[in-house]
Amino acid sequence: MEPFDPAELPELLKLYYRRLFPYAQYYRWLNYGGVTKNYFQHREFSFTLKDDIYIRYQSFNNQSELEKEMQKMNPYKIDIGAVYSHRPNQHNTVKLGAFQAQEKELVFDIDMTDYDDVRRCCSSADICSKCWTLMTMAMRIIDRALKEDFGFKHRLWVYSGRRGVHCWVCDESVRKLSSAVRSGIVEYLSLVKGGQDVKKKVHLNEKVHPFVRKSINIIKKYFEEYALVGQDILENKENWDKILALVPETIHDELQRGFQKFHSSPQRWEHLRKVANSSQNMKNDKCGPWLEWEVMLQYCFPRLDVNVSKGINHLLKSPFSVHPKTGRISVPIDFHKVDQFDPFTVPTISAICRELDMVSTHEKEKEENEADGRHRVRDYKKTSLAPYVKVFEQFLENLDKSRKGELLKKSDLQKDF
């Protein structure tokens, strides 16, 4: 994908908001079929403008008002907040304490920087195809739990535009959850605990919860290729010492001897497994298969930004926002192809604006030849943004079907008197 020049951003955003942003689908999503009166009107949007000017508590009456404002302001970043008791743009006129966040999607934010203690290829804002596997595993683990353990149907996964992913759980019942319930869900999904000073961040015992077992089964599919080959986590003494810090001291000497004897991470890992599971060491209640699982979880398990998910009034970056540093669009991810998703092929704003320019020139000539006023194809469909909008539309279709199903169920129940 071509390089992005941040100096061009203001001009590119003008074109993007005027011709490429999928407003109709966006409004259809956040309006949720007009679930209740003023649902969309009570939603908070926040815009970050050029030079980090930050405007909160924006709200709009309808799609056209949202479009006009976005085209006028050209925000560098768009965040979506809660649905409030009153219109957010009138929050100053409401008496103290009455302005309350009432509903919001359950959201998750997973950021690669939280894995800096366990990835060797990159650090801070940098990512590469090697460490992106962490995001793939995170999406698979969290999505499976949301779907199977909680029964949540409508889950939209979105690339953040730079180094992470977001998930929006949009079921009607979920949008109404209290902060306490949200906290409980995040607690259930969190295994890696402790700050920078805590070396061992995962603790299991013989009674391993089904959620943990299922997560380990997902990690196992990626572990050798990702951790042992790609990250080479047992390459040398400096690295294997980090792993020794996670296992009981009683087996350190035995592991050290083996690690020195073998010459690759896969061989050394096999040695660790044998030592942990040997009948001699199994007498020690800290050994057993869960010892290798603790290491796998510490290196590969999702690390959630807990506060983003707990608070109903927390803001999260909007899908189809543009990342001002990379120029990449924050696009929905097709979960059926999550293993193939490559953040480096996500279109940048400069690429899609250029595609549109090329198409427009070609079309002008065509229109001059056939001025019969045929139905105009939406501009985003002429660019590499199209497949991502399609993923979003499929998500909206499923939401609509669900809603119609619920309405039918209600009307049937009312007939059964």
Q: Count CB-CB contacts under 10 A for residue 58.
A: 20
E strand residue ranges, 61-120: 77-84, 101-103, 106-111
Q: Kindly state the DSSP code that residue 324 receives in the 8-state scheme.
A: T
Distance in angstroms (rounded) separating the CA atoms of residues 258 and 144: 37
**Beta-bridge partner residues of 166:** 109, 158
Q: In sequence order, what are the residues at sequence separation of 6 or more whose Cβ sits closer than 8 angstroms to the Cβ of residue 407?
A: none
- The span from the CA of 379 to the CA of 275, in Å, is 61
Give the active site residues: 44, 109, 111
Q: What is the DSSP string of 157-197?
A: EEE-SSSEEEEEE--HHHHT--HHHHHHHHHHT------TT
Task: DSSP letter for 253, please.
Answer: H
Bridge partners, residue 108, by sequence: 167
Closest CA to 161 of 22, 340, 323: 323
Handedness of CA 195, 164, 80, 91 (dihedral sign): positive
Question: What's the length of the chain?
Answer: 417
Provide the 3-class DSSP secondary structure of residue 348. strand
Q: What is the DSSP letter of 44?
A: E
Evaluated on CA atoms 381, 382, 385, 387, the torsion sign reads positive
| Cβ–Cβ under 8 Å, residues 230 and 121 | yes
Ordered alpha helix ranges (H), 19-176? 23-31, 63-73, 129-144, 172-175
Task: Report, in angstroms and rounded to the nearest whole number, the Rg of the chain calculated over CA atoms.
Answer: 25
Rounded Cα–Cα distance for residues 350 and 5 (Å): 8
Burial of 56 (0-12, 13-18, 19+ CB in 10 A): middle
